[in-house]
Chains A and B, each alone.
Chain A
């Protein structure tokens, strides 16, 4: 009889402790989950911040900028011919800027439907140049730029500049 009473008590205590352990584990998991979701949000925010700040200056980086190639020095001017060569080397540059997508969309003159620029097929009669083309999950934004190229008109080299938008997007951490 005494033994049975003792056994009951041990069982009660054991159940209580198991419940207590489970409770702590659940609380721990909840806190960990909450912390991890915050961390994912932080990483996404960093990606977004990087994309926005990068977009604002990317047109002036050496791989894109016109420099003094089109007569005078121009800010926020992209050398279309150079960017097409960059596109050819996109595999080397895929992780260089730490963003998931970089593309240039010609806004004016309007070509109507979307035509991706490729050499020798469609360039310069096209309106989208995709430089870094990974899975796009975050939103894209960027500044308006001049997209310039060289063209022969009546046997002379002319500089043609068109209005475009440089779009940079980042990877959203889910």
Chain B
């Protein structure tokens, strides 16, 4: 009985030391974990901003397109989304990188007002292809930036029906896009996205250039995306429908701001007897509530472009 009591007898000093020691250790571990998490978050924020910043030199002057590759050391996920709020809406990019085989729960969003990045909502890989094309309606509105994981293959079926697009894919050397004819449709790599430029079966994405529509299958749902130019066609092919429509709305917001600047400039230069005869108010008052209204806007843009070309003073 006495020995049992001795076995359990721990002095109060020891007990106190053990409890407080455990508490101190717990605090230390907790702060280390929190700090590592914060470091990961800050790295994610830096990487997200960095991606947006490295897109700056890709902006075009008079070129019809530019391409580069983004090579990263670790497996990386890029989340791409956008918001239409504010004067120009916002582009959000979130970059997270795999660490010890695990993905962090979340990353820090970087936001940009002057970027228009088109990609699937989430893309993953070590290497990415970035290419840029200027978008005009009728004046240049912005450079559209497309990001595709290098290991994601696209199989363009019958793209030779659109020689302009075929020439562009070849000149930009987009290696992950394979061109095949309808007869050789079976040559498409097994995991590739099949993009059909005419009537074909078994397509993931269908492009109807005559009606300016890209149809995309996502699970059981089929989405329709309207386009009026090759730049928007690429955007519709390479990005998700929600993102595409959001970026399109942002582009229209910028188009209207530019129309406002040009109309003020037209008024200013008219004092110098330099008449541009542009009816930019038609762009400013043109309603844009859904992508189908893009067609009317494109027709209007053609008229305004003609007026700009034939005026005493062209503004762009």
Contact = CB atoms under 8 A, between A and B. Distances in A.
B72 interface: no
Nearest to A152: B272
Given A6-B13, A10-B12, A150-B274, A61 B265 contact: no
Nearest to B267: A85
Interface stretch (A92-100, A107-115, A138-146): A92-100
Q: Across the A-B interface, give the 4 residue pairs with the lowest CB-CB distance, nearest first.
A: A53-B56, A57-B59, A85-B264, A67-B316
Given A24-B28, A85-B262, 17 more contacts: A6-B13, A9-B11, A9-B13, A20-B24, A21-B24, A46-B46, A56-B57, A60-B59, A62-B141, A63-B261, A76-B61, A84-B268, A85-B264, A89-B264, A150-B313, A152-B272, A157-B273
Interface in B32-91: 35, 38-39, 42, 46, 49-50, 53-54, 56-57, 59-62, 87-88
Contacts of A96: 87-88, 113-114
A53 B55 CA distance: 9
B142 A62 contact: yes
A14 B16 contact: yes
Nearest to A62: B140
Interface in B1-48: 11-13, 16-17, 20-21, 24, 27-28, 31, 35, 38-39, 42, 46
A157 B135 CA distance: 30
Contacts of A76: 61
Contact of A10 (B16, B46, B114, B141): B16
Contacts of A152: 272-274
Interface of A: 6, 9-10, 13-14, 17, 20-21, 24, 28, 31-32, 35, 39, 42-43, 46, 49-50, 53-54, 56-57, 60-63, 65, 67-69, 73, 75-76, 79, 81-82, 84-86, 88-89, 92-93, 95-98, 119, 150-152, 155, 157
Nearest to A14: B16
Contacts of A82: 261-262, 265, 315
A54 B269 contact: no
